[in-house]
Amino acid sequence: PHFIIPVPKQNDTICFNVDERPGVIFNLVRDPLTGITVNGQTIGDKKIDPNKKLNTYFGRFGIVNEKLGLKLEVTTRSIEITSGKEKMAFTWSDTVSMKQRSFALQINKERNLVVMMGDSVQFVIVLHRVWKDHPFHQDYLGFYTIDSHRLSSKTHGLLGQFYHDLSFEVGEIHQGTDPEKPDAMMMIKGQELTVTRGWQRDYREDIKHGVQVPCWFVHHNGTGLIDGVHSDYIVSGIF
């Protein structure tokens, strides 16, 4: 999966990929103050093209709001909501708007799911449908956080650690291995990294083609950018 981290103060964006074996569950967001946790499980391609590297995507997300007693499990096939003792299940072919006391949810048929926790953060899960007879690829999901600053400054996780202040410096821009993608040096969190100018895609508006977001790409699973290494974020269960 590719991670996009906007840095609005600097009007720029950082991005990185995380490659791990299919089935691994990552903690993406954990806010001890609001009780919100988001975990995501990776899936791989249906079968591996021997000439290409293994691609992984997110195929399942678990969102928990402990304070509201709310659990949401989203896969490429279904959306299950547990609110206290009540349980509801929908598919991606449903169009649903739902509001309970401190929670609002909207399923836009075959497209995306928007979930809002009180006046707090808003999460958007995008469904990517892949031709069902595609020899390699299968359906997968994308995860977007809007108004992430509304979560507490204690928020952590593979994504959550970037919800608050982040600053960096880029210099020594020079030609990289790809003539269209210059390399540069990035100073971030007191470390010096080699980064490459590239772009990633934001699929919220145009689910088929996405919108290109220019960004500084951090190599090696975001090592140096993220706190620790990516395997530190592996957890045992979706909730």
Partner 1 sequence: SSDPQAVFDIEIYSLKVDCKVTSRFARSVITSRVVNRANVSREVFFDVDLPKTAFITNFSMVIDGLTYVGVVKEKAAAKKQYQQAVSQGQTAGLVKASGRKMEKFTVSVNIAATKKVTFELTYEELLKRNQGQYELLIRVKPKQIVQHFEINVDIYEPQGIRFLDAHGTFVTNDLTQLIEKTVTETKGHVSFSPTVDQQRSCPLCQTSTIDGDFVINYDVNWDTPAGDIQILNGYFVHYFAPTNLKRLPKNVVFVIDQSTSMMGTRIKQTKEAMLAILADIHPDDHFSIISFDSTVTKWKPSIIEATAENIEAAKQYVNSLYARGWTNINDALLEAISMLDEAMKQHTLTEHSISLIILLSDGDPTKGETNRAQIQSNVKNGIGGKYPLYCLGFGYDLDYSFIEKMALENHGVARRIYEDSDSALQMQGFYDEVASPLLSQIELKYPENGVADLTERSFQQYYNGSEIVVAGRVTGNELDAYNMEVIAKGAEGDLFLKNQRKEQDQEKTFEDPQYIFGEYTERLWAYLTIQQLLSKRVSGTPEEKANNTARALELSLKYNFVTPLTSMVVTKPEDTLDSTMLADKLTEAESRGPPQDGQAHRVSSSPQSNYHYASRYIPPVTSVDGD
Nearer Cβ to partner 1 (175/214) = 214
Among 207, 219, 221, 223, binds partner 1 (CB under 8 A): 207
How are beta strands 12-17 and 211-218 bridged, if at all? parallel
Closest distance between partner 1 and the C-beta of residue 58, in Å?
7
Q: Which stretch binds partner 1 (CB under 8 A): 99-107, 170-178, 180-188, 230-238?
A: 99-107
The Cα–Cα gap between 142 and 106 comes to 16
**With binding defined as CB under 8 A, does residue 8 bind partner 1?**
yes
Binding mask 102-141 for partner 1 (x = CB under 8 A): --xxx-xx-xx-xxx-----x-x-x-x-----------x-
**With binding defined as CB under 8 A, does residue 234 bind partner 1?**
no
Q: Is residue 36 classed exposed, middle or buried when 0-12, 13-18 and 19+ CB atoms within 10 A define those classes? A: buried
Q: Which of 114, 111, 74, 82 is nearest to 94 (CA)?
A: 111
Closest distance between partner 1 and the C-beta of residue 75, in Å?
15
Q: Which of 73, 37, 67 is nearest to 155 (CA)?
A: 37
Binding mask 48-87 for partner 1 (x = CB under 8 A): -------x-xx-----------------------------
* Helical (H) or strand (E) element with 221: helix 219-222
Q: Give me the sign of the Cα torsion angle 91, 93, 94, 95.
A: positive
Q: What is the DSSP letter of 176?
A: -
Residues contacting partner 1: total by CB under 8 A: 59
Report residue 75 as tokens: 């896969």
Q: Which of 40, 51, 25 is nearest to 235 (CA)?
A: 25
Binding mask 166-205 for partner 1 (x = CB under 8 A): ----------------------------------xxxxxx
The Cα–Cα gap between 138 and 44 comes to 8
Which spans of this chain sit near partner 1 (rule: CB under 8 A)? 1-8, 17, 28, 40, 55, 57-58, 88, 94-99, 104-106, 108-109, 111-112, 114-116, 122, 124, 126, 128, 140, 142-149, 158-159, 162-163, 200-210
